[in-house]
Amino acid sequence: MNQYSRRRSRRRRGRSRNNLPLILSGAVLALILLAGGIFFFKNKGGFPVSLLPASSSNAPGGQALESSKETEPLTEEQALQNLLDEADRLAAGYDYDGAIALLTGNEQFKDTEEAASAVAKYEEIKSTLVRVDPSKVTHVFFHSLIMDTSKAFDGDHKQNGYNQMMTTKDEFDKILQAMYDRGFVLVRLHDIASETTDENGNPVFKAGDIMLPPGKQAFVMSQDDVCYYEYMDGDGFASRMIVGEDGKPVCEMKMDDGSTSAGAYDLVPILDEFIENHPDFSYRGAKAVLAFTGYNGILGYRTAASYGTAEYQAEHPDFNYEEEKAQAAKVAQALKEDGYELASHSWGHRDMGAISMEDFITDTDKWDTEVAPLVGGTDIILFPFGSDVGDWRPYADSNERFQYLKSKGFRYFCNVDSAQYYVQIGADHMRQGRRNLDGYRMYYDLPESNPTKTHLDDLFNVEEVFDRSRPTPVPPMG
């Protein structure tokens, strides 16, 4: 009846037997680099001609709640049921200690038969939990989801890029369900390893103890470029993120009749809904990592310094730069409270391993000045283009780019790699490879494209997921 018992009765499917070596796939990397380059140049194409309304009537997060209704006192039975439900919710998210503490700490009900039997049930499950091997945590990533394939695939010059690099809503829905059915559970990067102090009080990075029932496997999800770039306007994507009436992040999308609708128009609200219905898909409330560049602003708000100039203001009298920044910061805060981790994706979508050291510093500082204050700082960087500041071997202390990022507070470094597992836990940082689940990857993993490809077998059946509304063949990269 409740989520918890549903979870227990669910069948577990086989785990992957696919264990690719931890090597960088040079060809894939090059392709990603090339495709990323296409995006970069398009993105930098100029300033906006049209802007969203500066202040939205659909962002009532700060408004007063409805005047409080007459609240009748709960019966004792209802109060106990609420407590048991709350404990079940915690346990469904694998926080058995929290569930037990909630029940045993409740003076009114701790000695009831119901509470005692729930505690016994949680203790029993706890004794069966298995520690996740931190080196066996896969990481998948997406870009903004295509909500309307007819607009993304309308034959214009952006179609190929979307077809290669984006995932459709339909595909994303199927991926969530398939991975859930296979026992995948979302975790945070900070759950895999985190900074703590050794016996001498010095900071040291340690692998975390993620405890899951047998048959479950941990994974990380991320989404790049959650900026709702201006070039995407009219192409079937959300236009920005707002804080909904329930205080949770939700997306806006422009409708054909010119109106703006708030709803599940991208990964965040879709994932939230899925976890609402399947709380055992999320370890202790973990959601995804969201990465932002800075040059076009974040979350659909035009927060880059170039929008704050007198010239821009003169050309766009209705635009309120300070309000854009305030709204972006408000949404970022709501995302963090909702379980999302926020990350840098470099300021200018730069190849952070290849650009000059001077440009590297300029870009890193710009993100630090323009974006970090909006998101409240971060210790995560998801490199664009699948770039990295080192090769597959652990970062050397002599690596000046690594040192510079560390000096800016970064401790988690993610590149792009098609290996199932790529986790390195260093003395003061963690690295992880990420797998692109986009049109390019899925199309070239279809049996009809290449019967020997098995990049995705551990995650889902690509034939069931691949969206047939895509133009095919999905063009090769480059």
Please give the residue ranges that form the binding site for Zn ion (CB under 5 A).
224-225, 384
Element (H, E) at 243: strand 240-243
Quote the least distance from Cβ 293 to Zn ion, whole Å. Answer: 7
Q: How far apart are the first and last CA of the chain?
A: 52
The closest alpha carbon to 267, from 335, 329, 217, 333, belongs to 335
Residue placing its CB nearer to Zn ion in the complex, 191 or 224: 224
For residue 31, the SS3 value is helix
Whole-angstrom Cα distance, residue 264 to residue 16? 31
Label residues 367-396 b or e (16+ Cβ within 10 Å = b).
bbebbbebbeebbbbbbbbbbbbeebeebe
Min dist. Cβ of residue 144 to Zn ion (A): 10
Shorter beta-carbon distance to Zn ion: residue 225 or 252: 225
Minimum Å gap between C-beta 228 and Zn ion is 13
Per-residue buried b or exposed e for 153-187, using 16+ beta carbons within 10 Å of the residue's own CB: beeeebbbbbbbbbbbbbbbebbbbbbbebbbbbb
The smaller minimum CB distance to Zn ion, of residues 225 and 363, is found at 225
Nearest approach in angstroms of CB 226 to Zn ion is 10
Q: Which neighbouring-strand residues pair with 412? A: 380, 430
Select 161 or 249, whichever has its Cβ closest to Zn ion: 161
The least CB distance from residue 291 to Zn ion, in Å, is 7
Q: Which C-beta is closer to Zn ion: that of 185 or that of 389?
A: 389
Please, which residue, 224 or 417, has the CB nearer to Zn ion?
Answer: 224
Helix (H) or strand (E) holding 404: helix 400-407
Give least dist CB 296 to Zn ion, A. 12
Cβ at position 175, least distance to Zn ion in Å: 19
Name the residue nearer to Zn ion (CB basis): 224 or 370.
224
Encoded tokens for 69:
């209704």
Nearer to Zn ion, 303 or 387 (CB): 387
State in angstroms the smallest separation of the CB of 45 from Zn ion: 16
The C-alpha atoms of residue 36 and residue 384 are separated, in whole angstroms, by: 8
The answer to whether 185 and 216 have CB atoms below 8 angstroms apart is yes
Q: CA 364, CA 347: separation in Å to the nearest integer? A: 7
Shortest CA distance to 270 belongs to which of 312, 221, 328, 304? 221
